[in-house]
Amino acid sequence: MGFEQVIKALRNSLPASNLFFEGDREYEALNGSYLSAMESDIRPAAIFRPESRKQVAKFVKIMRPFALGEHGEEATVRFAIRSGGQQPLPGVANIEGGITLDLGLLNSVELQKNGKQTVVSVGAGARWGAVYDKLDGTGLGVTGVRSASGGVGGLSLTGGVSFFSSREGFVCDNVLNYEVVLASGEIVNANEHENSDLWISLRGGGNNFGVVTRFDFRTFPQPGKFWGGSVFYFLSSWPYHVGALLSELRKKDAADPNAHVQLSIGYSSQFAQFACQSQLSYTGADATESMPEVLKPWADRHPQIEQLNSVRLMTLKEAVSEQPAESKGNVRCAYMNVTVKADAPTLFEATEIFTNSLESVKACSGLMSSLTFQPYSVHTLRQTVRHGGNSLGLDPLDGPFINIMVSTYWNKKSDDAAILKYMSNATSYMRREAQRRNKLVPFVSMNHAWTHQDVIECYGEENKRALQETSIKYDPQGLFQRGVPGGFKLFNRK
């Protein structure tokens, strides 16, 4: 009953040609294009692709009474919001039996002057590759993700780390303005001067407050080329690379804000062995043909797999092209994460937990699993304050930190339970060991979290309360809590 009523109302007010149903070629293509097949396993009753913010507003107005159960429980139809579909958590951007609002057609990228500041305005359905294409040759940079295929929406609402984050902060810290469709259907701007509480809450609060239709990012002067690339090596060299990272982070104020290093250990069932990667970047305006000294501890360290060393001067477009292509729904994947202080014994303990725990799933078809150390330097954390604040609850006075992420890709649905158990047990063990050493940081990255991780609670009591107050103010009926059930909600209510 409810579904038929919703579809009739949507068809009466919105382009029927943008509404797709199971069995339609467009439906199958869209639903199969998520990063993870676990999200594509979910089958919405329909997918709607708006072409404008006004169509989003109409959609929200039509859906609100049905999503909130105002026509009775039997007529309740909820919805999900999809930007790029790159967050692997099932149900965060798709919904079984409901309506998925796919923002993929809102993909404009425009450069605009705002006084002396150049702003890049990006539709919520755009990919970062289109943003970098727009900026190519302009002498400008933007704090976006390190993959051209990455969606703009997710990390811009949950945190996000960039090639430029050591100097410019998290991705969300660089959003000057969010254009948002509220639960009422009203279209508002959230920035430092308008709806500033909503602006801060959206910087880390995910899909809890409305449908963001446009992101306005600050840009900054950036030379055409910077130093970047990867060094690959085997497990025996891992302790040295970790030590070099910690040595740079512990310099705190003296650490080079133009340098960013991320470390990973990966295991592939195809090759049946571990390999390690140090991803390096130096984005300073003083980049020359000579490699910066700050990168040499990793780039020049031997032994390494020399034929895979890609460290060089490169454009931003070249840098993002080095990232792996998206799986487009035919591979299953999951992310889980823990954050700790920059402490060598804690990181080496996490390494041992990862390599030992992996034994239980090495036989799984198509297995690729990695352990990544993502640094949050003191410089990174200070940019949050400089750019107006966010909701993440990370204090630069307590830094630097390391976010430890376990990510896994595999082929068969029958292996889901075993792999999720391995990942949950490993990250829980890492958390307990860090806590035992008094090195645990409560923060959990929303974009890399799984269902059992209480992300909002990990932001801290004050931030959680502020997020809840923002929700009550802008969405008093709780449409984006109850009517949009996917993701990490602010209240324990149905």
pLDDT(494) > 50: no
Quick check: 298 and 306 in contact, CB under 8 A? no
Tell me phi and psi for residue 204, to 5 degrees.
125, -15
Average pLDDT, the chain: 94
Report d(CA 199, CA 201) in Å as an integer. 5
Report d(CA 19, CA 11) in Å as an integer. 8
Convert the pLDDT of each residue in 426-436 to its tens digit: 999 999 999 99
Mean pLDDT across 70-86? 87
Report d(CA 373, CA 261) in Å as an integer. 9
The predicted pLDDT at position 288 comes to 83
Report d(CA 436, CA 337) in Å as an integer. 17
Convert the pLDDT of each residue in 104-150 to its tens digit: 999 999 999 888 899 999 999 999 999 999 999 899 999 999 888 89
SS3 of residue 420 by DSSP? helix
Convert the pLDDT of each residue in 263-322 to its tens digit: 999 999 999 999 999 999 999 988 788 999 999 999 999 999 999 999 999 988 888 887
Mean pLDDT across 161-179? 96
The secondary structure element, H or E, covering residue 392 is none
The predicted pLDDT at position 41 comes to 97
pLDDT(175) > 50: yes
- Residue 73, CB-side half-sphere exposure with 13 Å CA sphere: 1
CA angle 30, 182, 471 (to 5 degrees): 110
- Distances in Å between the Cα of 66 and the Cα atoms of 59, 78, 264, 418, 474 are 11, 7, 45, 37, 19
pTM: 0.95
Q: Tell me which of 494 and 447 has the higher pLDDT.
A: 447
Report d(CA 2, CA 251) in Å as an integer. 60
